[in-house]
Structure 1
Amino acid sequence: MSDELTWLPGWRLTELIAKREVSCLEVTEHFLGRIEELNPTLHALEEVDYQGAREQARAADRAVSSGEDLGDLHGIPTAVKSHIRVAGLHFRQGAADEVSDVDDIAVERLRKAGAIVVGTNTMMGAGANLKSKEPGVFSPFNWDAEARSPWDLDRVPGWSSSGGAAAAAARLLPVTIGTDGGGSTRLPAAYSGVVGLHTSRGLIPHVDYRKPTMMLTASLGPLARDVRDAALFARAMSGPDGRDYVVVQEDPADCVVGLDRGVDGLRMAWTEDFGFASVYATEDSARIIDVARAAAQSLTTLGAEVETTEDVWEDRAAHGTVRWTVEPAAYEVMVGTNLTPLQPVDSTLYREQAESRARNWEHFRRFFAEYDVLLSVTAQRIAARTTEWDRGWTVDGPSFPGGSFAPVYCSHTMIFNWLGFPAVSVPCGFIDGMPVALQIAAWHGREDLVLRVAQAFQQAFPRDERPLVS
């Protein structure tokens, strides 16, 4: 049953556990074994709490034996990005490296739903020596520590939530939790061939007592091979909490209940580039977009109406001399490019960006009154080789975040962080042996809708390919 446990979706594991066909400890030991075997190659997990995971699994088995009500995630092993706090484990963000004494709210909720939190995932840059050789110049990454793509070890699995995506793709774990400040859950998902969800602003609460932040453009969200797993984990983490100033105030729409309703009768629009992203295209973009467009059109065979839109939205990165992040720098937000203490704000530039945001928001308000979802490619490039990634950080390269690399990388994703709308990335094909993904976006709070479309697509057009390292 070992191979079966590896590739079963998490929700099936909970069913087997509830029927006592397999124990929580057996499941946990199985995935801990996969971590021991594959993590030295993939570098997907930064810290693994072997003893704590086994203790959690034994407690979960006692709950099964005593007939307690079991949560939706009962017995599913998971890990979170290393800058999400887990009590007793290291919290790493930038120069910060400390042992947390509390769980993040999302981690609290995962535990309450029965998940087994086994550790933390690496995030791109955590293994690098990022000391400047000269101002604004970063040294190459340490590829003995950074996550690698399980499809091709010479390539990256994406930026930021990289370890979580690699772990989910190679099934070191059924589900992991990433964060998305410009595409950092969806883009690693796209490059790694898994589902990645960016959630609406305020859907999943967050608090950090040591570094108070408001997540105005960033989100927490699941990475998984299975849409239902992503929906179950998203639901478990979602909803109001008085510790978070900007969290939703009412219970959100249930993103699991209507998951299998299908797409018959839904109105969808496909955009090639939002009217601006083609300026960030690479030589491979046309082929990649062709794959995603075909995937979008295939939804018509399931009863959806799909039209191509020529609507033009405004490019956030085009405002101002700093091409990556200006407007959110007016706040203390959980995005890695914001500095502490906050930098002086150019009020003229801030107004320019705020007014641009307002125009885009109003554009989407009208748009989503006509269409249910907006479809696009998630990333208009495949995962970069590590050598190419290094070049982007050299003296003459388009270094992230200050140069042109960021808008290229986030060309189709950042707009939804800026506006706080949900979007999900779902695998839809391959180019040169590397995954390509379809992005599905909707109005604020409609995780139920984007996941419903993703589920219909995945059920009708499953991608069961397994990566080289698995």
Structure 2
Amino acid sequence: MTDLASYSATDLIRGFKVREFSPVEVLDAVLERIDRVNPILNAFVLVDPDRARTTARASEHRWARGEPIGLVDGIPASVKDQSLTEGWPTRKGSRTVNAEGPWTEDAPVVARLKEQGAVLVGKTTTPEYGWKAVTDSPLSGISRNPWDPTRTCGGSSGGAAIAAAAGMGALHQGSDGGGSIRIPAAFCGVFGLKPTFGRVPMYPQGYGSMAQLGHYGPITRTVADAALMMTVMARSDSRDWLALQAEKRTYLDGLDEGIAGLKIAYSPTLGYAKVDAEVAEVVAEAALHFEQLGAVVEEATPKIENPLHCFLTFYESGLASSLASLSEAELEMLDPGLREMAERGRRVTAGQLFSAWQERERLARTINEFYEHFDLLITPQVSVTAFETGTLHPPHLSSMWDWIPFAFPFNLTHQPAAAMPCGFASDGLPVSFQIVAPRHADRRVLRASRAYERVRPIVLPDVIKQSSARVEAEGRL
């Protein structure tokens, strides 16, 4: 039997055109998959089958007339539970947010998906206020890796990455303020893109000093699907005064042109990171594949130091701003780690913020100068494979920041960056490399990722087998 839940968005569109199957049939397959595996993996905090079926039926009628309203008409999609969605609560993983609302507005990414005919099935899980790089929260509990439910899926767009890997929809919206698209994509073995800052309009913007760290982007099972989703998401919205002007071409245009002649820097550590040996080995092998694809690959590293202190100055003070309106009783309801981080953020002074901006400017200038010599940069995406749930880091490391050193620098500098699966460690868990381009060169990241995908296709977990062994799995959780 055809597994419609695992089809890519581009394949679904082709099927709709020739009436091989309908949006309603596809949605039924996706909802059945959600019913089967979401109780194990916890990707969704909200599923709305009735609303999704109404949307799918309308799409089915349009396709029957040969009149789709947009590029993703009939495609099942999800929204991260940090993005405003009319009629659905946006609780951000927190018990401090009242589910009653009112919820009367769509964020730009949600509005664009709806306008282009996407079938929104629900909202995906996130840690509270998206504060950490694993996905568990006081509201929704622990979300689990589709390759091994005892392991973390990463975060903060963890639910979106799980849903992508497990066939619970084809298109999944994530957000990334310090790696939150790329980290879970890497742990779950799917593709995740953090576009150039401003490429996808954001509203509401992040709070305070966090306002210029956040990026919205796609998490998908194929690079082409991410390019398709980018074409929809990267359309103008007047509510984001920092948004870039929308481009006329689609992100599918030129996707298969290859990378012959490009000069690629491969940096195994960025000069300061510690990487597990197996991860380093898999990524180093992946970098060599780009030579076979016609690129010139050279081991080279930007002359930068670890910008963690700079990043945390912005990040922690931004979290403090986001929680400033909460009462003492509400603060007591928060994830303790979030509250501790916000407490540190409240102690950040104006002088410290000013110094951090100066450091950020130096970092961005150094990275820009590096790209005068290279077209792309490849690094590991995370320095470990997925570790056990219930902790912020594996036992041999002392902090969350030790295993995500490659992610947050490029939120500070606004470059487009993607997580691309490239193999597996001996524990059977995925490994990904990160590919980074100069600002505004989002197409180059997609083209390079697609070139690699054509010779090393993304491998997905067998969640059907996993769900059939549910009793055994639950015994291990």
Sort the TM-score into its range (normalised by shorter chain). 0.7 to 0.9
**Distance of aligned partners of 1:390 and 1:272 in 2 relative to their CA distance in 1, 3 Å threshold:** closer
Q: Is the contact between residue 169 and residue 467 of structure 1 (CA under 8 Å) also seen in structure 2?
A: no
Shift of 1:178: 1.1
Q: Which runs of 5+ in 2 are unaligned?
A: 326-344, 468-477
Q: Is the contact between residue 221 and residue 458 of structure 2 (CA under 8 Å) also seen in structure 1?
A: no
Shift of 1:6: 2.6
Write the deviation string for residues 72-101 of structure 1: whole angstroms up to 9, x where unpaired: 212110111111111111111242233421
The range that moved more, 40-49 or 269-278, is 269-278
User: What is aligned with 1:294?
Assistant: 285
User: What is aligned with 2:173?
Assistant: 177
**Distance of aligned partners of 1:386 and 1:336 in 2 relative to their CA distance in 1, 3 Å threshold:** farther
User: What is aligned with 1:202?
Assistant: 198
Shift of 1:389: 4.1
| Structure 1 residue identity aligned to 2:405 | S
Give 1 or 2: higher helix fraction: 2
User: 2-side partners of 1:208 and 1:44: how far apart?
Assistant: 23
User: 2-side partners of 1:210 and 1:309: how far apart?
Assistant: 33
**1:424 matched to 2:413:** no
**1:306 matched to 2:293:** no
User: 1-side partners of 2:462 and 2:352: how far apart?
Assistant: 45
SS at match of 2:148: coil
Q: Which runs of 5+ in 1 are unaligned?
A: 131-139, 399-403
Q: Is the contact between residue 172 and residue 219 of structure 2 (CA under 8 Å) also seen in structure 1?
A: yes
User: What is aligned with 1:2?
Assistant: 2
Q: Is the contact between residue 172 and residue 218 of structure 2 (CA under 8 Å) also seen in structure 1?
A: yes
Identity in percent: 31
Match of 1:406 among 400, 404, 421: 400
| Structure 2 residue identity aligned to 1:288 | V
User: What is aligned with 1:133?
Assistant: none
User: What is aligned with 1:49?
Assistant: 48
User: What is aligned with 2:187?
Assistant: 191
**Distance of aligned partners of 1:214 and 1:205 in 2 relative to their CA distance in 1, 3 Å threshold:** farther
SS at match of 2:254: coil
User: What is aligned with 1:340?
Assistant: 324
| Structure 2 residue identity aligned to 1:302 | L
SS at match of 2:371: helix
The range that moved more, 340-349 or 159-168, is 340-349
User: 1-side partners of 2:320 and 2:416: how far apart?
Assistant: 20
Match of 2:157 among 145, 161, 175: 161
SS at match of 2:90: strand
**Distance of aligned partners of 1:200 and 1:209 in 2 relative to their CA distance in 1, 3 Å threshold:** closer
TM (norm. structure 2) is 0.85
Aligned length: 438
User: What is aligned with 2:372?
Assistant: 369
SS at match of 1:307: strand
**1:460 matched to 2:451:** no
User: What is aligned with 2:432?
Assistant: 437
User: 2-side partners of 1:388 and 1:449: how far apart?
Assistant: 36
TM (norm. structure 1) is 0.86
Runs of 4+ residues over 6 Å off in structure 1: 140-144, 209-214
**1:147 matched to 2:143:** yes
User: What is aligned with 1:17?
Assistant: 16
User: 2-side partners of 1:434 and 1:336: how far apart?
Assistant: 35
User: What is aligned with 2:116?
Assistant: 113
Q: Is the contact between residue 124 and residue 163 of structure 1 (CA under 8 Å) also seen in structure 2?
A: no
User: 2-side partners of 1:250 and 1:226: how far apart?
Assistant: 23
| RMSD of aligned alpha carbons | 2.9
Shift of 1:346: 2.0
User: What is aligned with 2:269?
Assistant: 273
The range that moved more, 416-425 or 65-74, is 65-74
User: 2-side partners of 1:303 and 1:210: how far apart?
Assistant: 40
The range that moved more, 180-189 or 286-295, is 286-295
Q: Is the contact between residue 199 and residue 246 of structure 2 (CA under 8 Å) also seen in structure 1?
A: no
Write the deviation string for residues 277-310 of structure 1: whole angstroms up to 9, x where unpaired: 23xx4xxx12201101110111110101110004
Match of 2:232 among 211, 233, 236: 236
User: 2-side partners of 1:373 and 1:247: how far apart?
Assistant: 24
Shift of 1:391: 8.6
